[in-house]
Structure 1
Amino acid sequence: MTDLLQLPDLAPVVAEQPDPLLFATVSGAHLYGFPSRDSDVDLRGVHLLPVDALIGLREPEETRSETWDRDGVEMDLVTHDLRKFVRLMLRRNGYVLEQLLSPLVVHTTALHAELAALAPDVVTTHHAHHYRGFACTQWRLFEKNAELKPLLYTFRTLLTGIHLMRSGEVVAHLPTLLDTVGEAPAYLPELIAAKAEAEHGPATGVDPARLAEDVEVLHGALDAAQRASRLPDSPSGAHDALHALVVRARLHGPQG
C-alpha cells in the first residue's frame, strides 16, 4: 500500500476548503496499488454545506472539483456534500465505498468513522453491476489504445467485484487482491511493476488473446460469485441510520 509519507503534504489542501471536510482520502492508482512515478494524486472526500446554503434560492455546491499543481505533482480533488454522498452510498456505487474506506486517510472526523461503520449495511449483490460495467468500459478503452493503465483497471475492478461478492469486503488494492482471489492471472505482478515506470505506456509481454481469455474468465467468476453471494438484494436497514446521521451533522456541525 502506498505510504502517505511518499506523497506531498496534503494538510494545506484540507485547510483551504470553503466548508468543513468530514473526510479526505487518497483514491486512484495510489489506492489501487499501481501508482507510477508520474501519477497524479486523486483526493476524494465529503464536505458539509451549512444549512443556509440549502434553504435559499441559490443551487448548492453538492459536488466540487478542482485540479492544480503542487510541488510538481498534479492534484485532483473531488468532494460531495454529505447528503449527496450518502445518496450515492445507497445507490450501489462502488466508487464512494472505496473512497470512504480507503486506508490512505488525509483527514478524518468522528462522522467519517460513523459512515465507514455503516458501509457494510449498504453493500448488496447489485454492486456486482458497478464493477462489471466499469470493467467493460476499461476493457473497451484498452482495446482502443492498448495502454497498460486501462488493462490494470479492468483486472482491478473485476477482482474487487469478485472479492466483494464472496466476502462482503471492499478491497480496491490490486496486490492484495492477487492473494485473495484465486482466479487472478499470474502475470499481473509484472504488469504492476511495468506500470510503476510510466503512467501512460503500452501493455507488452502478454499475448492479447490470453488477456481476452483471462478477462472473460474473471467475468464468469464475477457472475458466479454474484449468484452465490450471501449479500442482500437491498441495503439492510441502513437508510434510517444514514438519514439520522445527515440530519445530526447538518444541525450540529462536522463533529456531530
Structure 2
Amino acid sequence: MTQRIIDRSTIIGELERIEREEGVRVLYACESGSRAWGFPSKDSDYDVRFLYIRPLEWYVSIFEWRDVIERPISDQLDISGWDLKKALNLFRKSNPPLLEWLQSPIRYAENYSVAERIRSLSPLAFSPKSCAYHYLHMAKRNYRDYLQGERVKIKKYFYVLRPVFACEWIERYGTMPPMEFDRLTDRLLAEDSRLKQAVDALLVRKKAGDELDLEPRIQPINDYLEERIAHFEQSARHMADNEGSRDRQLDELFRSALREVWGIEAL
C-alpha cells in the first residue's frame, strides 16, 4: 500500500474539528510515535496526541465525565487527547508518555501558555526511577515478543533499542531522554563503534523505506540488549524517586489555564 502523506494543515483541520464537535480548546498537539522518534516506516500512522481544556461548568459537575477524546484511526491518522486535569494528575506521577509529548520535535499546535508552564515544572516532577521502570518494562516485553528467535522481525530492534537507550540516558544524566533516536545514539554510542555501526546500518535501511521483515538476528545488538536489560533490572531500583511537583503549583496552573482560555475573571 502506498503511503499517504498527511500535511500539517490536514492535522490542524482535524484538531479544529474536534474543538467544534467537543466544545473544547486544544492547548497543545504533537507527534508521538515513530515519526517523532525519527524512523517512520512506509505505512506508519501519524500518531497525533493533544491536551485540551473544557469550560468551567464541565469541571464543577457532580458527575464524572470521560476525560479522553479519541478518534478512530483513519487514513493513517491516529489522533487522541487528554483533558488537562487528567494530564496534570499524570504529570504529578512523572508519566513518561506525557513528558515525551511535551518535548516532541514535531508540534502541530501550542496555544496559550499552558504547555510551556508545564515544561518549566518538569524538573520537579521527573522521577528517574519510575521513568526507568517504564522504559525497562517496554524493552523487556518487546525483546521477549520479537527478538529471541534465530530469525527475527528486524524492524522491532528499534522498539527495544529506544527504551534501552532511554534507560541508559536516565542513568547517565538523570534527566528525561530526548525522543529523537539519532540524539540518543550520538551521545550514548560514541565510544562503542562496533555497536554504533550495526545500529546505524539498520537505521539507514529503515529510513530508506526498506522492508525490514524476518531476517537472521543481529548478534552484536542482541548481546548488547541482553546485557543492558539485565543491568537495568538491578540499577533501576537504586535510582532517585522524585516525589513530584507541588500540588499547589499544579492547582494554580489549572486555574490559570481556565482564566486564560475562557476569560474567567473570578477564579
Q: Classify the TM-score, shorter chain.
A: 0.7 to 0.9
User: For structure 2, which runs of at least 5 residues remain unmatched after alignment?
Assistant: none
Partner in structure 2 of residue 84 of structure 1:
86
Partner in structure 1 of residue 154 of structure 2:
148
Q: Distance in 2 between matches of 1:201 and 1:161?
A: 25
What SS does the corresponding residue of 1:204 show, helix, strand or coil?
strand
* Aligned partner (choices 168, 188, 192) of residue 181 of structure 1: 188
Show CA shifts across 1:52-104 (max 9, x none): 223335532311111343xxx41111210011111112223211110111121
Q: Residues 69-218 of structure 1 correspond to what in structure 2 (within 5 A)? A: 69=74, 73-109=75-111, 110-126=113-129, 127-143=131-147, 146-167=152-173, 168-182=175-189, 185-186=195-196, 187-197=198-208, 201-202=212-213, 204=215, 206-207=217-218, 209-218=219-228
Aligned: 1:243 with 2:245 = no
Q: Distance in 1 between matches of 2:263 and 2:224?
A: 47
> Post-superposition shift, 1:192?
1.9
Aligned: 1:40 with 2:13 = no
> Could you state the TM-score of these two structures normalised by the residue count of structure 2?
0.80
What SS does the corresponding residue of 1:253 show, helix, strand or coil?
helix
Q: Distance in 2 between matches of 1:137 and 1:200?
A: 23
Q: Distance in 2 between matches of 1:190 and 1:7?
A: 29
Superposed CA RMSD: 2.9
Show CA shifts across 1:9-65 (max 9, x none): 222122112211110001100111111222110001111122222333553231111
Q: Distance in 2 between matches of 1:165 and 1:137?
A: 20
Partner in structure 1 of residue 25 of structure 2:
20
> Could you state the TM-score of these two structures normalised by the residue count of structure 1?
0.83
Alignment identity in percent?
Answer: 20
> Post-superposition shift, 1:199?
8.9
Q: Distance in 1 between matches of 2:123 and 2:144?
A: 31
Q: Distance in 1 between matches of 2:171 and 2:71?
A: 34
> Post-superposition shift, 1:206?
4.4
| Aligned residue pairs, count | 246
User: For structure 1, which runs of at least 5 residues remain unmatched after alignment?
Assistant: none
Asked if structure 2 preserves the Cα contact closer than 8 Å seen for 1:44 and 1:79, the reply is yes
